Amino acid sequence: MAGNPSTPAATPPRPSLTLEAIDKANGEPYVEGDKNPGYGDCGNNRQITAREPAKRETPIMKVQEYMLKALKDAVQMEVEGRQFYLEAAKKAKSAGVREIMEYLAESEKYHIEKFNEVYRSLEKDPSWTETIAAFKPPQHEPYVCVMAMTKDQQGAGGDDDLQALKTGIKMEECSIDYYTKLAKEATNPLARRFFMSVAHEERGHYLTLMDMHNYLTLPEDWFYITQMSNVDGA
């Protein structure tokens, strides 16, 4: 083989999705790595851009550094989630599944914008404010899952659509775990409230996906549970 055998062959560049959050310490945009940081084993293999430690670190600086890394990680997770839902919507054969995927992709868009807003604010000043901690996603149709179900017959889910729903469920589970973890670790009450609000919405996404999956695969069980829920809530 030509060339110096001790020199590794150059790897052709892979397409990457650049995020808005900029790592000013390194002067480079934070971009998606080769490994999926948000999913798989719920993010155990996350890769975060390394920063040079400050010369005189204080407890506040350490908290800020950790929070900025966590936010960049969150942005990347949401970008990958949105991309997945958009692709799943394009490939969906089920009109109901397509509608849910499009709804979730739009929800992730707000998450990306909000995380970038928080990142830019905390990068300048580590203090949390009510404005920064406010998490107010756009109001969507409250019965989006029910509306989607009217477009499909019970038990009519195709394999690809069902797999997309399963993948979405796993992604949302990992997001819930991650944001709940950040909330528990947060020492600032506003930061804690913010991450719990995000986790709460992700749980709503999880339940929407789970409901649609059960509707398509276990119609009898879905109908029974739904009816019991209505009776209990009466």
pLDDT in tens, 176-210: 999 999 999 998 999 999 999 999 999 999 998 99
**Sequence ranges of the domains in the chain:** 58-124+140-229
**pTM for the complete prediction?**
0.68
Q: How far is CA 83 from CA 16, 47, 88, 192, 198, in A?
A: 12, 19, 9, 27, 19
Mean pLDDT for the stretch of residues 91-101: 88
Fold for the domain defined by 58-124+140-229? Ferritin (1.20.1260)
pLDDT value at position 223? 47
pLDDT at residue 142 tops 80: no
Residues 6 or more apart whose Cβ sits within 8 Å of residue 52? 25, 26
Residues 6 or more apart whose Cβ sits within 8 Å of residue 195? 179, 180, 182, 183, 186
Q: How confident is the model at residue 19 (pLDDT cuts 50, 70, 90)?
A: very low
pLDDT value at position 220? 56
Give the separation between CA 119 and CA 122, rounded to whole angstroms: 5
Strands (E), 78-139: none
pLDDT at residue 144 tops 80: no
Looking at 25-34, 80-89, 185-194, which range is the least confident one?
25-34
